[in-house]
Chains A and B, each alone.
Chain A
Amino acid sequence: MNLRINPTRMELLRLKKRVRVAKRGHKLLKDKRDELMKRFMALIRDVKNMRLTVEKRLMEAYRSFLVARAVMSPEVLEEAIMFPTQQVEISIKEVRMMSIIAPVFTLQQEGAMYSYGLASSSSDLDAALDTFSAVLPLLVELASVERSLDLLAEEIEKTRRRVNALEYVLIPNLEKTVKSIAMKLSEQERAAITRLMKIKDVVRAK
């Protein structure tokens, strides 16, 4: 589609400059998209492994907890864990990566984890808490990496849309317009020459 622009030499020069800028931008965005894809693919492999590990550890923790739940009555189990002494704090930092701002969660665990007496509790409860406690930093790290992955995917999508808009819409439109202005200008030039030649003939005939 041609742009609605006056077919002047000035506009032609301006449009040619825009085409150059658009092509340069297109190349840069294409490079950015490729780099984002590269990082995304590397990260997705890590996340997959991490998620599998976390899910496996969580399954173990839930299984131990299930056994503790079966061996201890529900009231005794809940009494054992009703007064937790461990404080967990998550701090968030932001890291800039390829124009996205990704969060990095840092977990801090303070205080004793076993806040119950051993006489009325089962060793399966220790095992469950142990595994839950060990899996928590991994879970927080996974959350951080998965969020980065989400942001990266959004950015890839956005960049892909821009690259396509430049490649299939803006640059062809600009080029078409440049071409049509150039044609119009040469047409005008030819008309002017013809007009001059005609005037010259009229003058000569007199």
Chain B
Amino acid sequence: MSISQDSRYAYAVGRIRVLENKLLDKTKMQRLQNAKSVDEALLVLSETDYADLVAKAPNPYDIDAITTEEIKRVYLLIRELLPKEALADLFLIKYDIHNLKVLLKAHYQKKDFDYLLVDAGLVPAETIKSVLKNDQLPSIPKEYYEGVKAAKAAYEERQDPKVIDEVLDRTQTAMVADMASKGGHEFYRRLLAAQVDLVNLKSLARVKRLGRGRAFLDDSLLPGGTLAPSFFTPLYGSDWAQLVQAFSLTPYKAVVEQGVAAYLESGQLTTLEKLADNFQMTMLREAKMFALGPEPIIAYVMAKENEVRNIRIIMIGKKNGVATAEIAERLRESYV
């Protein structure tokens, strides 16, 4: 991307650099984590950028509402900063895909699950709902339309709701990758490829742990990563040591080594999932080196999504009396 093109982002990057300073750093996360109760944690949260939301929330204990509001605020900000760019759209597709999954599953069960719809995507949830209800698929983006058609065909053939998720997850990955390519967001494409690899790695470990068979793994693997699905499939039959060996020449060597060691010790894949997220966070930090361009903006949104998840882990843990050490085990690294 040329400097003249990058300069389109100058104002946005300036604003983002200021906002980055308001992200919760390790110290603030530590304080939140060490709070003795939910009330104390809310007090700590009130000293941060979340103060307004905590104060205005009808129920400050409803941390989901607060975090959802915060993330919506971030997407709105990106749209406001870059009105001519579709950068925020990259992060909104997942909400439409979620709504499509909910509506398709509700359709096949003949039940109403409207309360699960999230109105934060590119297309309003109501529009998607009426389009699906009236079978006017061509009036939503082509990729969604094709995704829904493929998901319906797959479900009708196999009568397994899992395939709806799998087909639509593939649609989402392909659509986001395509948008990132068209927008020239190389940094995001690299991030996405790593994300796909890590999702496939986690799927491989989960299917191995559950002993669900190679076909289950094949269905779960997403294309579009730096490692082809064919890299993962043969590893289903191998033991954990061979799996670690297979990843030794990939960038995910440390994630796999430590994640598998933790799994063999505890029987849980929590550490592997955390390490995978931390790996992405390390990649995300490269954005700090870019003076101009979309990278700092992308990194900020993803850092905020990570922060919101960490806050949710802490608050839900506090609410349910989970020990601080146990909460710490699950917290992802912060961007700042």
Contact = CB atoms under 8 A, between A and B. Distances in A.
A67 B330 contact: yes
A86 to B, nearest CB: 11
Nearest to B68: A73
B105 to A, nearest CB: 4
Contact of A124 (B161, B222, B270): B270
Given A75-B98, A79-B105, A123-B202, A70 B207 contact: no
A111 B98 CA distance: 25
Contacts, number: 102
Interface stretch (A33-41, A46-54, A114-122, A196-204): A114-122
B269 interface: yes
Interface residues of A, number: 30
A141 interface: no
A119 B161 contact: no
Interface in A134-172: none
Contacts of A124: 268, 270
Contacts of A189: none
A124 B313 CA distance: 13
Contact of A82 (B105, B202, B209, B210): B105
A114 B215 CA distance: 14
B104 to A, nearest CB: 9
B114 to A, nearest CB: 11
Contacts of A123: 202, 205-206, 209, 268-270, 272-273
18 contacts: A70-B313, A73-B312, A74-B64, A79-B101, A82-B102, A115-B162, A117-B164, A118-B203, A118-B207, A118-B220, A119-B169, A119-B203, A120-B98, A120-B169, A122-B273, A123-B206, A123-B273, A126-B209
Interface of A: 63, 66-67, 69-71, 73-76, 78-80, 82-83, 85, 112, 114-120, 122-124, 126-127, 130
Given A69-B316, A123-B202, 9 more contacts: A66-B316, A78-B116, A82-B116, A114-B162, A115-B160, A115-B162, A120-B165, A120-B169, A122-B273
